[in-house]
Amino acid sequence: MTPSESIAAVRDADANRAAAMAHVATMRGVAPAAITLRLLAEDDPVQNPLASLFAQLRVDFLTLNNGQKFELPFLLLVVFATNIRPSELVDEAFLRRIHYKVFAESPTIADFKHIFEKCCAERQVHYDEGLIDELLQNYYRPRKLALRGCHPRDLLDQALAQASYLGEDRRLTSELLEAACASYFVDDTEPAPVFV
């Protein structure tokens, strides 16, 4: 393939961008295991002149198992996320190679309530601070649960799903929050049932 044919192929692939983006959007931006992204930027441009061209365009051309080819824009960003202390996962040399590290601390009680209030507003549900105080006092404190920024969203979604299932109004109650907590949090203090 000549360089001009290569450039023409790249331009022709532009017509498939909408189909490619629709396909990737249906997969929530994650390519399935059958499709592998080639990191063309790492290829030797002397051995593979197209690698340099593709890397500059920041696109890759993928082929589905049915033979359909499409262009997929990409930007490579590797993100590691864990709840485990990094020093317990890897050695210091590995950690030095990760130049930017961000510590996401747990929210304060005031932050937790603010997040809960915003989640309620997004879902058009009345926010009752008394219910959140009750939740913290009767569920979080006795179990020594750490506050997490995702808890308000997740508990609210579970409570509203429960209300919908029961045919109740879309409003927050202590019973719905308690049911959401019972479903959401794992209680490993209970002994496993013994069948005789």
Rounded to an integer, the average pLDDT of 161-180 is 93
pLDDT band at 56 (very low <50, low <70, confident <90, very high): low
Structural domains in the chain (count): 2
Residue 175 and residue 121 share a domain = yes
Residue 65 and residue 127 share a domain = no
Give the pLDDT of residue 67: 84
Q: Is 97 inside a domain boundary?
A: no
Which residues are paired to 71 by β-bridges?
61
Last residue of a domain, one of 73, 101, 123: 73
Domain that holds residue 50: 3-73
Q: Is 59 inside a domain boundary?
A: yes
pTM of the model: 0.56
d(CA 15, CA 70): 9
User: Contact, 159 vs 128, CB < 8 A?
Assistant: no
Last residue of a domain, one of 55, 73, 91: 73
Residue 12 and residue 69 share a domain = yes
User: Contact, 57 vs 10, CB < 8 A?
Assistant: yes
Residue 63 and residue 7 share a domain = yes
Lowest mean pLDDT among 5-14, 42-51, 170-179, 183-192: 5-14
Give the pLDDT of residue 16: 45
More confident residue, 156 or 82: 156
Q: Label residue 29 left, alpha or beta by phi (over 0 means left) and psi (-120 to 50 means alpha).
A: left
Q: Is 113 inside a domain boundary?
A: yes
Residue 66 and residue 114 share a domain = no
Per-residue DSSP letters for 117-180?
A: HHHHHHTT----HHHHHHHIIIIIHHHTPPP-TTHHHHHHHHHHHHHHHHT--S---HHHHHHH
Using the Cα atoms of residue 181, residue 184, residue 190 and residue 196 in order, give the sign of their dihedral. positive
Residue with tokens 């051995």: 47
Rounded to an integer, the average pLDDT of 175-192 is 82
Q: Given a cut of 60, is residue 25 above it in pLDDT?
A: no
